[in-house]
Every structure is written in C-alpha cells, then in structure tokens.
Amino acid sequence: MIRRTGWFLSKGYSYEETTQEYLDLVRFRHDEYVEPTKWHADIIINGSTGPHKGAELIQVWIEHSLQLGSG
C-alpha cells in the first residue's frame, strides 16, 4: 500500500482518495484472488526481509525437500 499511496499522492490525489481507492479495489482483489491461494502454497515469502533472504529461504527449502525425497 505504501508504494501505491506514494504514487497517487504524487499525481495530486488526496490521502483520503488514495485510501478509498485501496479499500475499494486493491484490498477487494487481494482478498478475492491472493488470500485463497495461500492455502495451496508450500511456502510464502512476504518480501519484508529483502530479495536475498527470500532466495536463501527458497534454496534451503529446496535442499531440504530433495534430502527428504532421496532418503
């Protein structure tokens, strides 16, 4: 939401307009499309720790999965 808020504010929209846009469209679509798919995911990376940490986490997860499969 922070990136979107900055973009809308730079285009001259008020904070209230930006917030309403988020509540009406973005959150609705997120709840409709993103949240239901989380139940099918083996791993979820939220991106808050940076790209290198996410890549490291995936690498460890893959290596662990391969070890379980070969034993």
The pLDDT of residue 70 is: 67
Residue 20 neighbours by CB distance under 10 Å: 12
The confidence band for 63, taking pLDDT boundaries of 50, 70 and 90, is very high
Mean pLDDT of 14-30: 84
Q: How far apart are CA 23 and CA 31, in angstroms?
A: 11
Q: How far apart are CA 31 and CA 43, in angstroms?
A: 19
pTM above 0.85, yes or no: no
To the nearest whole percent, how much of the chain has pLDDT over 70?
Answer: 96
